[in-house]
Amino acid sequence: MTDPRLVAGVDCSTQATKVVVCDASTGEVLREGRAPHPDATQVDPAEWWKAWQIASDGLLDGVSALSVAGQQHGMVLLDGAGEVVHPAVLWNDTSSADATAELVSELGGPETWAAATGSVPVPSFTVTKLRWVRGAAPDAAARAEAVALPHDWLTHQFAADRSGIADLTTDRGDASGTGWWSPTTNDYRPDLVELAFGRSLQLPRVAGPSEVVGQTASGIALAAGTGDNMAAALGLDLQPGDVAVSLGTSGTAFATSAAPTTDPSGFVAGFADATGGYLPLVCTLNAARVLSATAQLLGMDLAELDQAALTSTGSAGLVMLPYLDGERTPDLPHSTGLVYGLTRATAQPATMARAAVEGMLCGLADAVDALRAQGLPVHRVLLLGGAARSRAVQALAPALLGAPVVLPEPAEYVALGAARQAAWAVSDAVPTWEVAMSKPESPVLTDEHAAQVRARYAAVLNGTRPLLSTPR
């Protein structure tokens, strides 16, 4: 028997499936579980189902509603019976870099794409993966009848009455990251699917933000679900003037907006959110792993790296461009990391540690500035994700990001946002859930010093951009 006081949220992320069961009225987490995913950029979706079964084991007794938040952009190709025909190609797979350039050109350039879908495609976007798989795996492409996103596929798996591909659903938020849906018109652009794939595919129905799209065999109501960033915004209860900066596997900066945004430069993706509004967002491929990779290079653990960065009086002109996995924003998929300004004086562990923290934050500072350029106010930054726990990051972030910083209490905000959506789906309105915030310790950078750090970073980036664009 279900209990209307209990709702569940699922975060199917790049690295793991996380499940929270919450009190529907307060958001208090009552139970939670987690299971890892394979460390790969192409994954059999069956691995997500295995992780779900492990993570949710023993948690769902009494749950009345459930919602799935999934990693954005992942491409799941299905045949007419709903069977997967190719491993899911995830957002961080850059195989479609050449396909991206082709598609942007074929439609008429970045301005045309921004006007059509609110975003200029980069290799993360699903539409570019369709073009790539068409050439790289023609047999799988020939069998495909439908294309879905990770959260679409999982929600469909939960449904007791699913039949083939007929009942696939998605939501505005996740659909807005495909490259074939327009946040301005709230409609699909099937012509862009045909441009990428050479023929049409069945696309999931776009459900309303608070819609119940089905139920499980045990009677749990299924909410529409959404993308991970949209769920995080819902979990954080972002307000106008708030910008969330998340430092996880990727780095993101996003804010809510009452109106759609269009950025022909491609820096800001004009996404929709999970409530009927909009979520302009900038995403980088490199965030927390920049710090872990630097710590490994220096023979330190993360706590030692943190202390070294804080004890340094500055990077002394040493600049790190942290493009260790290529980069999405700026669009440099073939790039590698770069350390500039290495001398005997700067070849010190503490200086390198400081440069790594500064480099990671400078990339996100450019992201926050891009949101400002779209007319979004930045009254405060909510700093979250694994790297946000670093004292060095907390100390340097306010000056480099150019705004006061607050720290949401560590929590699984994507899963919480999904749970909040589930609660909304079985009630009359979005429930009010409080988010505890704290302030970081005293910043260590002056505005003048931060301006110097950012100017050096920009000079190195702009001076080496042709080199960074060269295929490896």
Catalytic member of 152, 171, 174, 228: 228
**Per DSSP, which regions of 417-465 are E strands?**
437-438
Q: What three-state secondary structure class fits 242? A: strand
Region class of 427: left (phi > 0), else alpha (psi between -120 and 50), else beta: beta
How many other C-beta atoms can be found within 10 angstroms of the C-beta atom of residue 6? 24
* CB-count exposure of residue 1 (10 Å: 0-12, 13-18, 19+): exposed
Q: How far apart are CA 325 and CA 288, in angstroms?
A: 12
Count of all residues that appear for the chain in the document: 472
Token readout for 222 is 């299924």
Strand ranges across the sheet with 437-438 = 269-272, 278-284, 251-254, 242-247, 380-384, 405-408, 437-438
Cβ(163)–Cβ(170) below 8 Å: no
- Structure-token match 């459930």, residue found: 66
Gyration radius of the chain over CA positions:
22
Cβ(326)–Cβ(462) below 8 Å: no
Cβ(104)–Cβ(121) below 8 Å: yes
Annotated active-site residue 79? The verdict is: no
Q: How far apart are CA 195 and CA 116, in angstroms?
A: 13
How many other C-beta atoms can be found within 10 angstroms of the C-beta atom of residue 168? 24
Q: How far apart are CA 231 and CA 12, in angstroms?
A: 11
Cβ(147)–Cβ(203) below 8 Å: yes
Q: Give residue 270's identity as a one-letter amino acid code.
A: G
Indicate which residues carry an active-site annotation. Answer: 228
